[in-house]
Structure 1
């Protein structure tokens, strides 16, 4: 039987700026208990919230130059926030920033320093941070946004939490998302937990990230931009996370291709990794609502991942190696109950 067509929507709002139009995600049903929050660019929430807060405090002023390092989606979000609020923008861009992203940044008025090609995540990030420090030293009028360390980036995600609470009025919720800087997952779950929602937070990490102790590994195929780090990030609050999945490039590709094939959703590799983890999590607890965070579209991964779709394994054939301590961490996919503990672990008194 063909389902009835959806009810006609009311008139769409007319937005004052593009950031209002794209900041909220599309919520897409993936299964009976699973929903995807699919963004064009997730970090619009972080950039808008941070810039508004800094302007309100008087920390920055219209016309000032904001600078930061980025692997892609934060760069675009910050450039759009600067466009909206009359600020200048300078981006120290990762080697993973492609021509399409760079052109958008330049047309928006941002100036861009891009790091030379590298498959070494640590070298790429260290170069970027060094360059930002040089710029701030040379031009003290610049304000370093410090997306990796300044907690002001949590502020904008409270609006996302309001949207989730309205759309998914449940008492128990599993949130699955890439850890990255820590702000998006942390900024979402903290307000939800304050509302009394029992949120199980599941973080996604690549092999090679120091954030949760996988730096002894490397993923030779590719850097999955934005989900891990070769340097410690102050905005990652390890005690917020209940479980962790470490997923390599090939498995993330399988998730992203599977998501497109099964649900017609074209999203990036971190979304693919989160989707793969969500299949495992929901199979273990089908009665609990699961929200998968999809921070960006798949366009910048077209050649590196989607063009290789025939190589992608079927997500249904994949399962993680379950571990109880980091010493047992094993590629290509491991999972552990993190239990909201510190990292590095604090000594027992």
Structure 2
């Protein structure tokens, strides 16, 4: 069998590998998620004339989206500018700069909300000074949904024979939202389960801070328009300690070295697969574990046994509590910017 030959490394790493971990449990394992969707977004922007050859694309990111955008710009001969925080790890920073990206880091802030707000304010300053810059707006421009259609096709073709449950970190909303929309067109009734950190306002949990760290990549402290709340059937809020336990278990049990958000998703997915043997459960592993070696995997002796961990079922947002809460969201509408902790928009029945 001949191997595919790609013209750019981004094309080689954009698609996930599907791995079966149990009778009805699967993982879509990305080397770095968002490459596929970013490539499609940039390609469509060029084709539509919204950006011109040689343009400078800019966005706020301190993680995998920054890398995805740098790769896309490298492939298409565009300039890349990233406004990030001081938390950008050295490995990523070196790669971004060698790839030709201009990386600007804002000063450290006391909270994620201040950090994200400062980054957006800096982008607005740069846009005002140079209107030719194109702000990609991964959190708000729905073009980022388009790139998940091929991933949905891969999952639908690879996981058959039973109703599907999809589990992933919410973050910008595009990966889980885009996949759910495309899968529901292809595979019928698909259950979507979103995973959030404590402290994230996206689903109304800004009133509870994680004593460990906020898992920033799957949460937010500012509203994201690309999060379509009415797509989600369940939401699970997972603490850093439980996410660490999930990431260590994923490596120990399945030799799968993935990031902290993947550990959170595995924690939820293995329980869902056990409770619902009649369904196929697929969770998203967004990146590898390399940047979490010191903060997560070096602390493997702190990991808890997953069989001993259970979520607290809640019916209202003011009942949320550490270290793991679960709620039947039932595709309710929600407005984070207006969210009191008892938001009327999200009070369906408790999670099973």
User: What TM-score results when the alignment is normalised by the length of structure 1?
Assistant: 0.94
State yes or no: 1:275 paired with 2:266. Answer: yes
Question: What is the match of residue 339 of structure 2?
Answer: none
Question: What is the match of residue 244 of structure 1?
Answer: 235
- In the TM superposition, what whole-angstrom CA distance separates every residue of 1:281-320 from its partner, at most 9, and x where no partner exists? 1121012000010000111111111111101111111111
In structure 2, do the counterparts of structure 1 residues 346 and 207 end up closer, same or farther at CA, with 3 Å as the change threshold? Answer: closer
Gaps in structure 1 of 5+ consecutive residues: 1-9
- In the TM superposition, what whole-angstrom CA distance separates every residue of 1:212-256 from its partner, at most 9, and x where no partner exists? 000001113223131000000000000000000000100000000
Are the aligned partners of 1:171 and 1:198 in contact in 2 as well (CA < 8 Å)?
no
State yes or no: 1:212 paired with 2:185. Answer: no
Question: CA shift at 1:346, angstroms?
Answer: 5.3
- In the TM superposition, what whole-angstrom CA distance separates every residue of 1:316-342 from its partner, at most 9, and x where no partner exists? 111110111111111110001100000
Report the Cα distance in structure 2 between the residues aligned to 1:219 and 1:115, rounded to whole angstroms: 23
In structure 2, do the counterparts of structure 1 residues 272 and 229 end up closer, same or farther at CA, with 3 Å as the change threshold? Answer: same
Question: What is the match of residue 59 of structure 1?
Answer: 50
In the TM superposition, 1:1-349 aligns within 5 A as 10-118=1-109, 120-170=111-161, 172-344=163-335, 345=344
For structure 1, which segment, 318-327 or 168-177, has the greater mean C-alpha deviation from structure 2 after superposition? 168-177
For structure 1, which segment, 166-175 or 40-49, has the greater mean C-alpha deviation from structure 2 after superposition? 166-175
Report the Cα distance in structure 2 between the residues aligned to 1:217 and 1:62, rounded to whole angstroms: 45
Are the aligned partners of 1:170 and 1:197 in contact in 2 as well (CA < 8 Å)?
no
For structure 1, which segment, 135-144 or 216-225, has the greater mean C-alpha deviation from structure 2 after superposition? 216-225
SS in 1 for 2:287: coil
Report the Cα distance in structure 1 between the residues aligned to 2:187 and 2:263, rounded to whole angstroms: 29
SS in 2 for 1:201: strand
Are the aligned partners of 2:198 and 2:214 in contact in 1 as well (CA < 8 Å)?
no
Report the Cα distance in structure 1 between the residues aligned to 2:41 and 2:213, rounded to whole angstroms: 30
For structure 1, which segment, 239-248 or 193-202, has the greater mean C-alpha deviation from structure 2 after superposition? 193-202
Question: CA shift at 1:147, angstroms?
Answer: 0.3
Question: CA shift at 1:119, angstroms?
Answer: 5.8
Report the Cα distance in structure 2 between the residues aligned to 1:131 and 1:138, rounded to whole angstroms: 11
Moved over 6 A (4+): none
In structure 2, do the counterparts of structure 1 residues 160 and 280 end up closer, same or farther at CA, with 3 Å as the change threshold? Answer: same
SS in 1 for 2:67: helix
Are the aligned partners of 2:113 and 2:222 in contact in 1 as well (CA < 8 Å)?
yes
Report the Cα distance in structure 2 between the residues aligned to 1:82 and 1:47, rounded to whole angstroms: 10
SS in 2 for 1:319: coil
User: What TM-score results when the alignment is normalised by the length of structure 2?
Assistant: 0.94
